Amino acid sequence: MRNLRGLLIFVVATANTVIWFLPIFFLSLVKLLLPLSFIRKAITRWLVLLGNCWVTANSFIISANNNINWDVRGIDNLSYKNWYLILTNHQTWVDIVVLQSIFNGRIPFLKFFIKKELFWIPFLGIAWWALDMPFMRRYSRSYIAKHPEKRRIDLVATRRACEKFRDSPTSVINFVEGTRFSHEKSKSSESPYKHLLAPKAGGIALTLSSMGEMFDKIIDVTIVYPEGPVSFWDVMCGELSHVIIDVKKRTVETWLYEGDYEHDPNFRKNFHNWLLEIWEEKDKNFRKLLE
């Protein structure tokens, strides 16, 4: 019965995606074929509206299927008319659904960096592309060491994506750890934190240098599943019962986007220290939220 319920909800969620995908796909073709600036901007507004409707329907389906205790803190005084950079920990694919559910209608549509391979997911890949989600290639450190020119490709792609975000209020999400947390990953990477992986500063630094003066706030989010992280299938089966989302708003200090992360070692060191302080505080906060 558990899997039957999961299958039924999965079919409903898929049908919802297909319903909203059709107009998104049509508008994305128009956007592709008529690359005039004023047309692209107008179509992007319609696409974001459709995206918000898609997220609203998804949130309703998930909330109706799961008896969720939403413990949300610090989410007041946010605006749909502002630009935000969202820094968050990452434990499961469900994090994206959680973030979309709590922020939908409160801040601009969430944009996040996606691995290039995920473009080929049916429906979702094209929808993400149409909604200006930046697709990135992920290279290992050893590969970058052998092919340093590949680093430049992602830098250029990130800057292009950030330029698009200037056209209208945007919320840019950065999963700072670079991957989902697990105790195995924590041990193999020798993370100094109990509940988090070590943060990666490059992506945030690049986003801030590209559009830092536009961000009104940095939204620092800590997501905690008191009963342990759940999988996508667990959510389909109605087993998401308790989520804690703790939000802190941080000032976007001028020095964060005026320095040269790539070429200035002193700035890079200060930027790393700034991020490590946030992550140390986040790890302590995570422990408190579990108590």
Residue 34 pLDDT: 79
CATH number, position 127: 3.40.1130
- Taking the CA atoms of residue 263, residue 142, residue 136 and residue 186 in that order, the dihedral angle to the nearest 10 degrees is -100
Decide if 5 is inside a domain. Answer: no
- 95 neighbors 88 (Cβ within 8 angstroms): yes
Dist. CA 258–CA 208, nearest whole Å: 9
How many other CB atoms sit within 10 Å of the CB of residue 81? 9
Decide if 42 is inside a domain. Answer: no
Alpha carbon distances (Å) from 261 to 26, 136, 207: 40, 19, 11
Residue 236 pLDDT: 95
Alpha carbon distances (Å) from 262 to 20, 179, 286: 40, 22, 31
Decide if 2 is inside a domain. Answer: no
Residue 122 pLDDT: 74
Alpha carbon distances (Å) from 117 to 121, 125, 134: 8, 9, 12
Residue that has been written with the tokens 């700034």 in this structure = 274
Count of structural domains, the chain: 1
- pTM equals 0.85
Residue 74 pLDDT: 93
Which tokens is 166 given? 């200037």
Least confident of 8-22, 158-172, 192-206, 265-279: 158-172
Q: Please enumerate in sequence order all residues whose Cβ is within 8 A of that of 71, keeping only pairs 6 or more positions apart, or say none.
A: 242, 243, 244, 245
Residue 83 pLDDT: 93
∠ CA 87-211-147, rounded to 5°? 80
Decide if 276 is inside a domain. Answer: yes
Decide if 34 is inside a domain. Answer: no
3-state secondary structure of 72: strand
Residue 41 pLDDT: 80
Tell me which residue range forms the domain holding 228. 67-290
Tell me what percent of the residues of the chain surpass a pLDDT of 90.
53
Which has more pLDDT, 260 or 159?
A: 260
Residue 152 pLDDT: 62
